[in-house]
Structure 1
Amino acid sequence: MSSPARVSLTLIASFFALYFIWGSTYLVIRIGVESWPPMLMAGCRFLIAGAIMFGWMLWRGAPLPTAREWVCGGIIGILLLSCGNGGVTVAEHWGVASGVAALAIATVPLFTLLFGMLFGQRNTLLEWAGIGLGLVGIVLLNLGSNLQGSPAGAALILFAAAAWAFGSVWSRRLPLPAGPMASAVEMLVGGAALLLGSLSSGERMTELPTAAGWGALAYLVVFGSIIAFSAYMYLLDHVRPAAATSYAYVNPAVAVLLGVVFAGEHVGMAEAAAMAVIIGAVVLIGLPQWRGGKVAEAEPQST
C-alpha cells in the first residue's frame, strides 16, 4: 500500500493533469492547426493514442472486444471524438479562439441534461435553472466579436458540444468494452472516421509540419489523450465522482488565460460575461452531485 505522502502527491499530480493539461489542449490544438489540416491532425492524434492504449490493454491481459462492442464503441467514438473533438479542431482552424472554444464546450453539461430527457431522465428545478442560465450564457457568447467573426465556427462549436453530450448520455446505455479498452476502441474508430473525413473533404498537406506542429501532435497524443485520461481514471477510484469531474468548471478559465497570455487572444466584455454565466450554470447543475456524491447521468469530458 502506498504511503499517505505518496498518495497525496499522486492526487495532486492527477488533479493538475485534469485541470491544466486538459485545459491547455485547446491552445495546443490552435498551434497544431497552423501546420496540420484539422481533421488530419485530430485523426492522427486519436489513431496513435488509441493504438497505444489498445496495445497496452492487451499486454495487461484485457480480452479483445466483441463485434458488438466494436460497433457500439465506434458509434460513441464518432460522436465524441469525430464530431465533438473534430468539430472543435476544425472550428479553431476556422478562426475561433481557443479560449472561446473551451468556453463553448463548457455548455456540454447543459446539453447533457437536455438529451437525458430523451432517455427518461427527470431534471430538478435547480438543474432547469442551470439550463436556463446556460442558455443566457450561450447568447452572450455569440454576441462577442470572436464568434460573430466566424458564424460557421460558432455553429460548429455548439454542434460539437451537443454531439459530445449526446454520445456521453447514449454511451451509458450501450454495451461497451470494460475499462480503458472502451476508450481505446472509441479513439481507434473515431480517429479512422476523422481520417476518412479528411480524405473526402480534400485536405492536403502542402508542406511538412513545423517543429511546433509536430510538438502539438505529440503533446495531444501523450498528454491530452493518454496521461490526462489515466489521471481521470485514477481520480474516479480515489475521490468522489463530483470532485473528479470538477475539471469542467476549471478548464475554460485555464484555456482563456493561456490563450490570452501565449496566443495574444482577445476576450471581450461579452465573452467575459458569458464565461461567468456559463460556469455559474455548470456549478448550479453540479450542486446536486456534490451534495449527494453521485455520478451525473453523463459527465462532461475534455478534448
Structure 2
Amino acid sequence: MTAAERRPTPAALIAGFLAIYLIWGSTYLAIRVAVETMPPFLMASMRFLAAGGLLSVWVAVTGGFRATPKQWLDNALIGGLLLLGGNGLVCWAEQKVPSGIATLIISVSPLFIVLLDWLMLVVGKDETRGTRPALATFAGLALGFLGLALLVGPDLGHHAGGLDPWRVAGLVLACLSWGAGSIYTRYARAPAAPLTGAAIQQLTGSVWLLVVSIGMGEPGHFHLAGVSGRSWLAWGYLVTAGSLVGFTTFVWLMKHSTPARVSTYAYINPVVAVFLGWLLLHEAVSPRIFVAAGIIIAGVAIITVAKNKKSVPASKGSLDPSRPAAVAAAVAAPAKE
C-alpha cells in the first residue's frame, strides 16, 4: 500500500477540516481588504489569472494539460458563471457591504440551485434534467429566504448605516449565477483530469472579469502605487490559500471522507466569516444578525441533508471532486469558492 493509499489519521482529517473551515471562512474578509485599494473586477481577474496559471503549470508537469475545443468552450462558460457572476459580483458588492453580511447572503446559494433545478424539470418536463424537491427541501427553502429577509430587510436603503440595495442585489445575482453555473456543470463536457477543468475555468474566468473591468474603466483608475500593503497581502492570500491550498485540501478530504461531512463547511464558514469580520474589521454584529444567521444555516442544513439522502451512496455525492462544479466551488468559494 502506497502512502497515497493509506488511510489518513484522525489528526490529519481534523486538520483538513479545520483548514477548509478557516480558509474559506476568511476569504470574504480577504476580499473586503483587497478591494479597499484595488478595483474589484480587476483584482478578481488578477487573482484567477495567477491561480489558474499556477494550476495549469502543475497540471502540465504532473499529467499533461489536455482538453478539446468543446471542453474549453463549456468550461469557459462555467468560468463566466461561477467566477465572473458568482465571485466578481461579490468583490464589487463588498466595496460597500460588510464581509460578514456578504457571506451570509451568499450562503443561500444552495437555495437557488434547488429552485433552478426544479425550474428545469417544470419547464423542460424531462426528469433527467431536473429534480423535484422533497418536502423537507421546501421547508429549508422557506427558512433560508426567511433568514435572508430578516438579515437585509430592516437595513436595506440609503439611510445612515443602511445596506446599499444595488450591492445587495448584486450579491443575490451572484447566488443566482453560481446556481446556474453549478447546474450547467452536470451537462458540460469535462476534461479527463478534473484539475484541467479547474485551470480552464480560472483562466477563462479571469478573461471574463478583465472584460468587465475594462468596460467599467477600472484599469484607467488603477495605480500600483495606490495599492496598500494589506490589500496586496489579502490578494496573495486569496491566490495561495483561497484558490490553491483550500482547493487541494477539499479534493483530499473528498477522497478520504464523505460528501455529507465535507459539506459541513457550508454551515461553519458563515460563522467564521462573521466572527473574523467583527474581530479584525470591527464590523457590527447585532442579535438580529445572529438570529438571521441561525435561520439561514438551518435552512441550508435541511436542504443539504435532504439532498444527501436522495444522492447515491458512498463517495459519489453532490460534492464529487471529479465534477467541475466541485472544482470551481473549491477554487472560488468561500464558500465556496
1:145: how far off?
2.6
Structure 2 match to 1:143: 153
> Aligned to 2:33, what secondary structure does the other structure show?
helix
> Aligned to 2:246, what secondary structure does the other structure show?
helix
Instruction: For 1:104-253, list aligned pairs within 5 A.
Output: 104-117=105-118, 118=120, 119-145=129-155, 148-177=162-191, 178-203=193-218, 204-206=221-223, 207-253=225-271
> Aligned to 1:175, what secondary structure does the other structure show?
coil
Structure 2 counterpart of 1:75, from 74, 77, 91: 77
> Aligned to 1:224, what secondary structure does the other structure show?
helix
**TM-score scaled by length of structure 2:** 0.85
Structure 2 match to 1:48: 50
Instruction: State whether residues 20 and 265 of structure 2, in contact with CA within 8 Å, keep that contact through their aligned partners in structure 1.
Output: yes
Q: Does residue 13 in structure 1 map to residue 15 in structure 2?
A: yes
Instruction: Give the letter aligned to residue 256 of structure 2.
Output: H
Unpaired runs of at least 5, structure 2: 121-128, 320-324
Residues 115-124 or 281-290, more deviating: 281-290
1:271: how far off?
2.3
Instruction: Give the letter aligned to residue 39 of structure 2.
Output: P
Instruction: Give the letter aligned to residue 58 of structure 1.
Output: A
1:8: how far off?
3.0
Structure 2 counterpart of 1:296, from 318, 321, 329: 318
> Aligned to 1:145, what secondary structure does the other structure show?
coil
- C-alpha separation in 2, matches of 1:289 and 1:131: 13
Structure 2 match to 1:88: 90
- C-alpha separation in 2, matches of 1:25 and 1:150: 21
Instruction: For 1:52-67, list aligned pairs within 5 A.
Output: 52-67=54-69
> Aligned to 2:205, what secondary structure does the other structure show?
helix
Instruction: For 1:263-274, list aligned pairs within 5 A.
Output: 263-274=281-292
> Aligned to 2:226, what secondary structure does the other structure show?
coil
> Aligned to 2:94, what secondary structure does the other structure show?
helix
Instruction: State whether residues 7 and 256 of structure 2, in contact with CA within 8 Å, keep that contact through their aligned partners in structure 1.
Output: no
1:222: how far off?
0.3
- C-alpha separation in 2, matches of 1:83 and 1:30: 17
**TM-score scaled by length of structure 1:** 0.94
Structure 2 match to 1:100: 101
Residues 191-200 or 3-12, more deviating: 3-12
1:11: how far off?
1.7
> Aligned to 1:194, what secondary structure does the other structure show?
helix
Larger helix proportion of the pair: 1
1:62: how far off?
2.9
- C-alpha separation in 1, matches of 2:76 and 2:166: 27
Structure 2 match to 1:280: 298
Aligned CA distance change for structure 1 residues 6 and 136 (closer, same or farther; 3 Å): closer
Residues 221-230 or 161-170, more deviating: 161-170
Cα deviation 1:250-274 (Å, max 9, x = unaligned): 1100000000011010123332221
Unpaired runs of at least 5, structure 1: none
State the number of aligned residues: 302
Instruction: Give the letter aligned to residue 91 of structure 2.
Output: T
Instruction: State whether residues 21 and 228 of structure 1, in contact with CA within 8 Å, keep that contact through their aligned partners in structure 2.
Output: yes
- C-alpha separation in 1, matches of 2:13 and 2:113: 28
Residues 78-87 or 291-300, more deviating: 291-300
Instruction: State whether residues 143 and 270 of structure 1, in contact with CA within 8 Å, keep that contact through their aligned partners in structure 2.
Output: no
- C-alpha separation in 2, matches of 1:5 and 1:84: 35
